[in-house]
Amino acid sequence: MVFPHIYLVLVLTITKTSICVSEGWFLHVTDFHWDNTYTSRDLSCNGVVNTHGVYGDYWCDSPFSLIDVTIKAMKNATIDKAVDFMLWTGDSILHTGDEHLSIDNNIEMLTNLTNNLQQTFPTMDVYATYGNHDYYPNGQYPPHNNEIYNRTLEHWRSWINDSTQEELFLKGAYYTLKTKYGIRILALNTNLYYTSDKITAHMDDPADQFVWMENILEHSRHLSEKVLITGHVPPGVAAEGGKPWFYQHFNTRMVHILQQYSDIIIGLHFGHEHADTFRLFYDHSGQPTMAMYIAPSVTPWRYKNSKATGPKHNPSFRMVKYDRVSGRHLDLVQYYMDLPESNRQGKPIWKIAYTATHDMGISDISPKSMDNFATRTRNPHSQEFQNQLSWRNAKAEVMPCDAFCHSLIFCNFKKLHDHDFKLCLRETQQYTATLPFGRRK
Ligand SMILES: *[C@@H]1O[C@H](CO)[C@@H](O)[C@H](O)[C@H]1NC(C)=O
Ligand SMILES: *[C@@H]1O[C@H](CO)[C@@H](O)[C@H](O)[C@H]1NC(C)=O
Ligand SMILES: *[C@@H]1O[C@H](CO)[C@@H](O)[C@H](O)[C@H]1NC(C)=O
Ligand SMILES: [Zn+2]
Ligand SMILES: [Zn+2]
């Protein structure tokens, strides 16, 4: 009589353990934009500074003190969690003119940040990609070997550590590696497709990255691998400005390739927008198939030019919970630093902006759940949309957002092609006009 009982306990224990073991976390940090001239020349600040706070100023890029406490806060956030790897999606250099920068300057800054991450996370697998600001001259990534790729690899070699992938990095700054739990990472150099890159504008496939990507994805499908895609500049249409970041032929091709492999792609993680947002891919029948998660920046910097001023932004990083076997994305915890409060108190005050499963009314962050949330933001008066507005800038401020502004944000979730996006803007504004003002639902 005793044996069946023991057997049952054993089975329960094993089942419970294996459920826990299959869940892991990863970190995502992006857009440090280190201004090493903060308080001396303020090169990133566009001629305006509020307070020169010890951890930074909304008008300026990150002082070193901010980078330092951010990396420490990331370390803190990993203490009670099984963190399998980190995504670092670039833009480490301040916003300023090329005349203030050089190859040596940019490599020096990149080296410092790399060393910092390696010292703080000595055993962490880090998948690092370049941002448009990391290159010198700004954004002009060439589709071939050059001094910057060579000198970066010297510092990223311990993370890449694979001769085939190192060759690809030297050629086009892209590579693929498998995590220790067998997820395939595709680390892309999408700066090659960004409209600020004058060198690649008329090319079909800069650095042969598209062909390479298709081959890897095809191979992964044969091997039944799960694939996570990471890079700096995201495909699709930016809510701010309402235009795709990529040249049109690149955006079309990228989206097309990704859509063909939605059965093995478990998630896409990008930076560049300095805003917290996401985009969805749909199949022919309108079912959501993939989600792209865009993480907000570390830099609090707001842009300013003769036409417009960007919103304030609190320094941020995030952690994502996923299933190590299926790759399903289970949850997202978004951290931010309350910049004014931290400056006032002279110590960093970190908070959680939201936890997806707690604050978004969804049970995980799968494409289906994200689509469910996105659909609820169609009404600009909805609590979901108002929350999204405050999360966009990591709770620094809720920008006034009229019907046009709402349609830009809503359609950025749903439409990846310029043409579809424009139709969506019109439709959404027509829908909003039918709503009773101020109605909350
Ligand atoms: C990075 O630069 C900062 C500020 O100049 C300096 O204090 C720090 O020691 C450097 N860290 C590394 C790891 O090079
Ligand atoms: C980059 O390094 C490779 C070998 O690793 C070398 O063959 C090449 O000449 C270097 N290129 C530049 C532009 O420094
Ligand atoms: C690179 O990988 C090899 C074999 O997998 C390992 O022995 C070595 O310690 C790694 N080197 C670094 C710097 O991580
Ligand atoms: Zn940036
Ligand atoms: Zn960028």
Within-domain flag for 181: yes
- Given a contact cutoff of 8 angstroms between Cβ atoms, the answer to whether 393 and 337 are in contact is no
Render pLDDT for 95-145 as a digit per residue (tens, 0 to 9).
999 999 999 999 999 999 999 999 999 999 999 999 999 999 999 999 999
Residue 431, ligand 1, Cβ within 6 A:
no
- Binning pLDDT at 50, 70 and 90, where does residue 20 land? low
pLDDT for the residue numbered 231: 99
* Ligand with an atom nearest the CA of residue 122: 3
* Cα–Cα distance for residue pair 127/28, rounded to 1 Å: 10
- Given a contact cutoff of 8 angstroms between Cβ atoms, the answer to whether 430 and 378 are in contact is no
Q: Please state whether beta strands 265-270 and 183-187 pair in parallel, antiparallel, or not at all (unpaired).
A: unpaired
Peptide bond into 137 cis (omega under 30): yes
**CA–centroid distance, residue 112 to ligand 1 (Å):** 6
For 176-229, where are the alpha helices, taking DSSP H only?
A: 209-222
Residue 357, ligand 1, Cβ within 6 A:
no
Backbone angles phi, psi at 161, to 5 degrees: 50, 55
Structural domain count of the chain: 1
Residues with Cβ < 8 Å from 375, sequence gap 6 or more?
Answer: none
Candidate from 121, 124, 153, 161 with most ligand 3 atoms within 8 A of CB, to mutate: 161
pLDDT for residue 407 is more than 60? yes
Residue 355, ligand 1, Cβ within 6 A:
no
Residue 102, ligand 3, Cβ within 6 A:
no
pLDDT for the residue numbered 11: 45
**CA–centroid distance, residue 165 to ligand 2 (Å):** 15
Residue nearest to atom 1 of ligand 2 (CA): 150
pLDDT for residue 334 is more than 90? yes
Is the pLDDT higher at 6 or at 224? 224
pLDDT for residue 17 is more than 50? no
For residue 355, count CB atoms less than 10 angstroms from its CB and return exposed for 0-12, middle for 13-18, buried for 19 or more.
Answer: middle
Residue 157, ligand 2, Cβ within 6 A:
no
3-state SS, one letter per residue, for 69-126 = HHHHHHHHHHCCCCEEEEEECCCCECCCCHHHCCHHHHHHHHHHHHHHHHHHCCCCEE
Q: Please state whether beta strands 265-270 and 125-128 pair in parallel, antiparallel, or not at all (unpaired).
A: unpaired
What is the CATH number for 173? 3.60.21.10
pLDDT for residue 8 is more than 70? no
Within-domain flag for 372: no
For 327-402, where are the alpha helices, taking DSSP H only?
A: 339-345, 356-359, 367-376, 383-392
Within-domain flag for 430: no
Owning domain of residue 49: 23-364+381-398
**CA–centroid distance, residue 150 to ligand 2 (Å):** 6
The tokens describing 342, both together, are 């931290």
Within-domain flag for 439: no
Q: Mean pLDDT over residues 258-270, rounded?
A: 98
Residue nearest to atom 6 of ligand 3 (CA): 161
pLDDT for residue 294 is more than 50? yes
Q: Which of 331, 322, 319, 406 is nearest to 364 (CA)?
A: 331
**CA–centroid distance, residue 172 to ligand 2 (Å):** 13
> Can you tell me which atom of ligand 1 is nearest the CA of 112?
14
- Binning pLDDT at 50, 70 and 90, where does residue 7 land? very low
Within-domain flag for 238: yes
pLDDT for residue 5 is more than 60? no
Residue 326, ligand 3, Cβ within 6 A:
no
Within-domain flag for 16: no
Residue for token digits 């390479």?
Answer: 212
- Given a contact cutoff of 8 angstroms between Cβ atoms, the answer to whether 266 and 183 are in contact is yes
pLDDT for the residue numbered 306: 86
Render pLDDT for 147-173 as a digit per residue (tens, 0 to 9).
999 999 999 999 999 999 999 999 999
Within-domain flag for 210: yes
Residue 180, ligand 3, Cβ within 6 A:
no
* Ligand with an atom nearest the CA of residue 130: 5
Within-domain flag for 302: yes
* Ligand with an atom nearest the CA of residue 194: 5
pLDDT for residue 9 is more than 60? no
Residue nearest to atom 2 of ligand 1 (CA): 112
Residue 146, ligand 2, Cβ within 6 A:
yes
pLDDT for residue 305 is more than 80? yes
Q: What's the mean pLDDT when you consider all of the chain?
A: 94
Residue 116, ligand 1, Cβ within 6 A:
yes
pLDDT for residue 42 is more than 90? yes
pLDDT for the residue numbered 50: 80
User: Where on the phi/psi map is residue 167: left (φ > 0), alpha (ψ -120 to 50), or beta?
Assistant: alpha
* Cα–Cα distance for residue pair 266/438, rounded to 1 Å: 38
